[in-house]
Amino acid sequence: MNRIDLVAGYHDVSGAPDDEVAVFHESIAPVCSPGFASDHADVLNGPVAQWGALQFLCFARLSRGWATWDDWFETVGRPEPVPCMEAYDDYAYVIRAAAAGQGLALGWRNFVGHLIDAGSLVVAAGGFVRTERPFSVRLTRHGRGRAYARRSLDAFRVLAGDEAFLPRDAL
């Protein structure tokens, strides 16, 4: 029996009922270590169509709905597939490999922003590209009948910037 109260993931929520909230929009960019960016500056500062020889790091277990390298390249004008040179089973390992100078990783702003701010990673080209898939959270059938699950969804609404869901004593 399914006892999950909330499900989170990247997907369109247009017309979503009251039991779902878009927390933030997916925003992606190629990221790498400052050293990798410096070593490959000539290629990275050129057209993305010439990036083929670079090392691309990939998340092997990408959940349905998450953007891929192919999505990013299509967004910036290079629709042909990109070979994944090194695949990892955990996104944290992908980012750790990028920070260690092993190649380019596809970075989600909400997951790598703090590493960019700290200087461990740099954006390799032009900045972040926003996709149309928001990260959203929704109640399951099981969660709809549970008060704490609804309160948790309200907390995600607050995180998304909807102050109407703040408790009165927090205003």
Strands 6-10 and 129-139: antiparallel
Q: Per-residue pLDDT for 5 more than 80? A: yes
- In angstroms, the first-to-last Cα distance of the chain is 39
pLDDT tens per residue, range 40-58: 999 999 888 888 889 999 8
Q: Are the beta carbons of 94 and 61 closer than 8 angstroms?
A: no
Residue 69: what pLDDT?
A: 83
Give the single-character DSSP code of 63: P
Q: Indicate the average pLDDT of the chain.
A: 83
Ranges 47-56, 77-86, 90-99, 126-135: which has the least confidence:
77-86
- pLDDT (average), residues 111-130: 92
Could you give all domains of the chain from N- to C-terminal order, each with its CATH number?
6-23+133-170 (no CATH), 25-132 (3.40.190.10)
Which residue in 147, 112, 115, 160 sits closest to 8, CA to CA?
160
